[in-house]
């Protein structure tokens, strides 16, 4: 029987980690991730996990120790936010290239500078090309569910790539929601026992991990990483299927919300999806044909699913909670635009940057985006491609 609890996102993920019972967890504090590790440290202190907790002197070392532990043959995790992730950046790439199935919750927070502790997606976006799988969470329940599924996805023998699951700082990490926890033994069976094929601690079969890889092999190894990424979607779907049987909750790469006969839609990810769904409902009540596309799996980017969803529409707005300086919009916008070119799908796509540094996004703002789309459809003129929501002029 699932247990229903009132939990913050941090607590929900800490419970997931308690149930996963990783062999090694390395940790270094940064707001808003801190409470996740506080909660996990309490579980550890109470003997509820067998985990070896490595309390490092920095995030760089936390990720380094996680890599060492995973290479040793342990199921290893860490968690971070913003500058912590930036400090890990060098090793984030190494973790992926070593094909280590590490799972890391990232509690999204704006990247300095200026320093700001509140939510946006600039931290995760900084390593979207690092070779990690990235799964975004809409609410605390999803954060919990994603953490459990991530273990199975990462460790799948066709994949062996690390996964970041993200949850919006404060908005989810510190907000109490109704969360349904699976039973401990159900989770234990779901994630299974971990038996890596190669491990440093298998001393009778010595391996060299992380060698110098020059002109004659590096390229082929990158090709293998690219290939592994192409194998991720079927595994995510398979794991989601298994998870749905246990929980009754089914997750796709994207979620289409009231999209079937929609003419206009917005695309976004993270906690704002909930607010946006409300707006869609309101507009639907008023007879407007609007819908929403939630991106859940951001890396690898679900081009086909998004392209198929876009085919039904007359205009779409992409809402980005991060900037990509010097290009023509936010990172999600660039990705969405790239799905369209050269395959017969052609519709106006505009971009809104919103919520930087924790700036609130409200229903009126999201509604204004739908209104803009209405004008675009009516006039046939796109106008400004890059726009802002909730920005003071």
Residues lying near other proteins in the complex (CB under 8 A) are found at 23-24, 26, 50-52, 54-58, 60-62, 64-74, 76, 90-91, 94, 200-203, 206-214, 217
Nearer to other proteins, 219 or 328 (CB): 219
How far apart, in whole angstroms, are the C-alpha atoms of residue 111 and residue 360? 17
Nearer to other proteins, 176 or 207 (CB): 207
Partnered with residue 295 across adjacent β-strands are 254
CA 311 to chain centre: 25
User: Which residues, including other chains, have CB under 8 Å from residue 46's CB and lie 6 or more apart?
Assistant: none
How far apart, in whole angstroms, are the C-alpha atoms of residue 33 and residue 35? 6
**b vs e for 244-270, b when ≥16 Cβ sit within 10 Å of the residue's Cβ?**
eebbeeebebbbbbbbeebbbbbbbbb
How far apart, in whole angstroms, are the C-alpha atoms of residue 12 and residue 166? 13
Nearer to other proteins, 7 or 25 (CB): 25
8 Å CB contact between 102 and 76: yes
Minimal distance in Å, beta carbon 21 to other proteins?
10
How far apart, in whole angstroms, are the C-alpha atoms of residue 67 and residue 268? 32
Minimal distance in Å, beta carbon 190 to other proteins?
19
Burial-class residue 195 by CB neighbours within 10 Å (0-12, 13-18, 19+): exposed
How far apart, in whole angstroms, are the C-alpha atoms of residue 291 and residue 265? 5
Minimal distance in Å, beta carbon 204 to other proteins?
8
DSSP string, 136-176: E-SSHHHHHHHHHHHHHHHHSTTT---EEEEEETTTTTT--
Minimal distance in Å, beta carbon 125 to other proteins?
23
Token pair of 184 as six digits? 């401990």
Nearer to other proteins, 126 or 357 (CB): 126
Nearer to other proteins, 131 or 302 (CB): 131
Nearer to other proteins, 203 or 286 (CB): 203
Nearer to other proteins, 54 or 149 (CB): 54
How far apart, in whole angstroms, are the C-alpha atoms of residue 322 and residue 357? 9
The residue with tokens 């973790």 is: 95
Minimal distance in Å, beta carbon 213 to other proteins?
5
Residue 347 in 3-state DSSP? coil
Minimal distance in Å, beta carbon 160 to other proteins?
16
Torsion of CA 100, 101, 107, 110, to 10 degrees: 40
Nearer to other proteins, 214 or 286 (CB): 214
Nearer to other proteins, 80 or 137 (CB): 80
In 3D, which of 319, 67, 293, 322 has the Cα closest to residue 169? 322
Nearer to other proteins, 113 or 211 (CB): 211
């Amino acid at each position: 029987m699932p247990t229903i609890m009132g939990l913050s996102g941090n607590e929900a993920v800490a419970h997931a980690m308690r149930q996963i019972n990783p062999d090694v967890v390395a940790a270094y504090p940064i707001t808003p991730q801190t409470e996740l590790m506080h909660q996990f440290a309490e579980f550890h202190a109470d003997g509820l996990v067998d985990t070896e907790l490595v309390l490092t002197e920095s995030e760089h070392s936390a990720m380094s120790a996680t890599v060492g532990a995973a290479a040793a043959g342990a199921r290893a995790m860490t968690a971070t936010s913003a500058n912590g992730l930036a400090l890990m950046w060098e090793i984030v790439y190494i973790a992926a290239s070593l094909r280590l199935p590490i799972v890391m919750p990232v509690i999204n927070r704006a990247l300095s500078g200026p320093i700001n502790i509140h939510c946006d997606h600039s931290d995760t976006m900084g390593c979207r090309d690092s070779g990690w799988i990235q799964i975004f969470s809409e609410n605390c329940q999803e954060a919990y569910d994603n953490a459990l599924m991530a273990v199975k996805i990462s460790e799948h023998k066709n994949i062996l790539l690390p996964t970041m699951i993200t949850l919006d700082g404060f908005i989810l990490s510190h907000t109490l929601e109704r969360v349904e926890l699976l039973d401990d033994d159900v989770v234990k069976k779901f994630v299974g026992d971990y038996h890596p094929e190669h491990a440093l601690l298998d001393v009778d079969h010595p391996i060299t991990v992380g060698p110098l890889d020059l002109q004659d092999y590096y390229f082929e190894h990158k090709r293998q990483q690219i290939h592994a990424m192409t194998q991720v979607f079927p595994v995510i779907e398979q794991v989601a299927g298994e998870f749905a049987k246990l929980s009754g909750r089914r997750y796709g790469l994207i979620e289409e919300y009231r999209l079937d006969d929609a003419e206009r839609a917005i695309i976004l990810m993270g906690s704002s999806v909930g607010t946006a769904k409300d707006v869609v409902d309101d507009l639907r009540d008023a007879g407007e044909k609007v819908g929403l596309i939630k991106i859940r799996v951001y890396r690898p980017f679900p081009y086909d699913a998004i392209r198929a969803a876009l085919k039904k529409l007359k205009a779409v707005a992409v809402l980005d909670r991060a900037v990509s300086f010097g290009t023509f919009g936010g990172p999600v916008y660039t990705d969405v635009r790239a799905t369209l070119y050269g395959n017969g799908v052609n519709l106006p796509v505009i971009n809104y940057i919103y919520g930087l540094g924790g700036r609130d996004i409200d229903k009126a703002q999201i509604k204004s985006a739908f209104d803009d789309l209405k004008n675009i459809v009516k006039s046939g003129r796109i106008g400004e491609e890059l726009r802002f929501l909730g920005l003071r002029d």
